[in-house]
Amino acid sequence: MDHPIKCSSAIVKLLQEKQVEYIFGHPGEQVLPLYDALRVSTIKHILVRHEQAAAHAADGYARSSGKIGVCVATAGPGALNLVMGVATAYKDAVPMLVITGDVPTYLKGEGGFQDVELCNIFQNITLESFYAENAPDAILKLKLVLKMLKYGPTGPVHINIPKDVLEEELDYSLLAENVKYYSENEFNDFSQAVNAIENCKKPLVIAGSGIIWSHSVKDFRRFINNNKIPVATTYPARGVLSEYDPLSLGMIGTRGTGRANYAGVNSDVIIALGCRLSERTLVGIGDAKIIHVNIDSEVLKGHINIQSNVKNVLHKFKSLDFPDSSTWLSEIRKKFPDSLYLKPKHKIQKGPLKPQEAIKQILKASGDSTIVNDAGSHTTWVTLLKKVKKPGSLIFSGSFGPMGYGLPASIGCFLACPQSHTVVITGDGGFQMTLQELATIKQENIPVVICVLNNHCLGIIRQWQDTFYQGAFQVALENPNFVMLGKSYGIDSVRVESSDDVFNAVDKAIKSNKPYLVEIIVDPQENIPLPSQMRE
């Protein structure tokens, strides 16, 4: 070889060229060559305490930054610990590069220590899972993966590299070799879309996260404001148009606003941009003709389908003659004067602090901070109480909803946007799924404010058991002292039980600009409203 370079070093060099700033991971034997290359690179490695957290942190980084997240783990147990977080990213179409080390090629299939067929597992929760046969193959596949993540459908892509391949040398010139990748565009139905739009009377745009991943937020806002079309969003797209904008109807679907769901049911043409139209979104849609735009052909389910990057379609829409929607907008606003159908009560009731009142105070104290949700009843209250100004400022794993997402995701969120404060809202159940990441937060001095709503139970499961079954079972939690736990990690911690104390504690925590844990004792019997109870 004229100019040899070790495969692991070549991988790191390619990532540096793509301006990767952070990799979230946990070292292990089969991936040590890659760590040795990272040691002398400009990329900062964030050492998590569990590989699930590496994937969630990379996920949070991607959602907040609009860039790809990168996570790494070793073979066997390390790689399998990534599965929860990778599946979470896959369900929400979050672009992520997942790198796993594997046992050497000469030991594959021998049933040896930590040998498992990783690609067979990851292929079900990624856009694609690649196995590197040798060093040149690893580099060419990585180059392909990086192009897929830039130009193709969004989501995690996995590459599995055996240890001996990482240590193998290849010719330096291979790094400059071009790899072809074609992202398909199908505009065959565009004329039908034009005809439907120009003849509609009640148009509605449903905005999905594809607007974010295609870096089209500015284009989208210009398109909406030029044509004065009402907009509803899916959960991951909240903020692509500020929810304070008069054209914003809020989120559509199961937990959607009255305005959005009324528009969805009564619209005659819906333009669905960069969303999947999941069953939760479809709850808010009536008999409208749906023009569905998505770069991933497998999710298209409209009457008129356009397979394309959202940015390309917005460019083609510039020349369209959209109908006047002023009468239609007046109808929606008259039917639902308030865009949100949960009106926070101003009078504080006697008795235990209600979780919705606690969250109201957290949000009030948080201002323009990035809010990271976990899974649980608190998530519904945040959904109903929070108005979102910009994309990436309200983070939640909507399609998979694993408990324990919030704490590690907040690490990635802060690193993506260090100029913004980051506040995690989690429950006592979800917090205990990944609380070991308090160590990561302390070690990296990441100034997230962790709000733990403690109702001493798995609240939403208790509610479902009480409502639909014969009563609560196996949901009571005998919790540790969270304040002492936080302090044991070297993190300032406080417990509060009143509305005013919540605001003061969160406000103080944010202003401290360091890691801070606020435990909030809330009413264990308070239920979230069922969708049928939330109509005005």
State how far the Cα of 168 lies from the Cα of 135, in Å rounded to an integer: 6
pLDDT of residue 536: 37
User: Where do the structural domains in the chain lie, given as residue ranges?
Assistant: 4-176, 190-335, 355-533
State how far the Cα of 357 lies from the Cα of 62, in Å rounded to an integer: 31
pLDDT of residue 1: 56
243: Cβ–Cβ under 8 A, 6 or more apart, which residues?
250, 339, 387, 388, 389
Q: What is the DSSP string of 178-230?
A: --------B-TTHHHHHHHHHT-SSEEEEE-THHHHTT-HHHHHHHHHHHT--
| CA-derived radius of gyration, the chain | 24
Give the closest residue to 452 by CA, choosing from 417, 476, 424: 424
- Which tokens is 323 given? 């109908």
Q: Which residue has the tokens 């058991």?
A: 465
- Are the beta carbons of 47 and 71 closer than 8 angstroms? no
State how far the Cα of 412 lies from the Cα of 405, in Å rounded to an integer: 11
State how far the Cα of 259 lies from the Cα of 254, in Å rounded to an integer: 13
- Are the beta carbons of 295 and 153 closer than 8 angstroms? yes
State how far the Cα of 269 lies from the Cα of 156, in Å rounded to an integer: 32
State how far the Cα of 202 lies from the Cα of 456, in Å rounded to an integer: 47
- Are the beta carbons of 416 and 60 closer than 8 angstroms? yes
- Residue 406 amino acid letter: G
As a dihedral over the C-alpha atoms of residue 332, residue 336, residue 341, residue 346, rounded to 10 degrees, the angle is 140
State how far the Cα of 507 lies from the Cα of 192, in Å rounded to an integer: 53
pLDDT of residue 110: 84
State how far the Cα of 519 lies from the Cα of 468, in Å rounded to an integer: 30
Q: Which H or E element spans position 469?
A: none
pLDDT of residue 345: 55
State how far the Cα of 404 lies from the Cα of 246, in Å rounded to an integer: 35
pLDDT of residue 534: 47
527: Cβ–Cβ under 8 A, 6 or more apart, which residues?
377, 463, 467
Q: Under CATH, which number does the domain 4-176 receive?
A: 3.40.50.970
State how far the Cα of 47 lies from the Cα of 443, in Å rounded to an integer: 9
State how far the Cα of 296 lies from the Cα of 153, in Å rounded to an integer: 5
Strands 44-47 and 22-25: parallel
Q: What is the DSSP string of 345-364?
A: -SSPPSSSPPHHHHHHHHHH
**Quick one: fold of 190-335?**
Rossmann fold (3.40.50)
pLDDT of residue 339: 58
Q: Which residue has the tokens 């939640």?
A: 396
Q: Under CATH, which number does the domain 355-533 receive?
A: 3.40.50.970
* Residue-level pLDDT, tens digit, the chain, 536 residues: 568 999 999 999 999 999 999 999 999 999 999 999 999 999 999 999 999 999 999 999 999 999 999 999 999 999 999 999 999 999 999 999 999 999 999 988 888 898 899 999 999 999 999 999 999 999 999 999 999 999 999 999 999 999 999 999 999 999 999 998 887 778 788 999 999 999 999 999 999 999 999 999 999 999 999 999 999 999 999 999 999 999 999 999 988 999 999 999 999 999 999 999 999 999 999 999 999 999 998 999 999 999 999 999 999 998 888 889 999 999 999 998 865 545 555 455 567 999 999 999 999 999 999 999 999 999 999 999 999 999 999 999 988 999 999 999 999 999 999 999 999 999 999 999 999 999 999 999 999 999 999 999 999 999 999 999 999 999 999 999 999 999 999 999 999 999 999 999 999 999 999 999 999 999 999 999 876 544 43
- Residue 297 amino acid letter: S
C-alpha neighbours within 13 Å on the C-beta side of residue 108: 19
492 forms bridges with which residues in the sheet?
Answer: 516
- Sheet with 289-294, strands from edge to edge, namely 248-251, 231-233, 203-207, 269-273, 289-294, 304-307
Based on the number of CB atoms within 10 Å of its own CB, is 88 exposed (0-12), middle (13-18) or buried (19 or more)?
A: buried
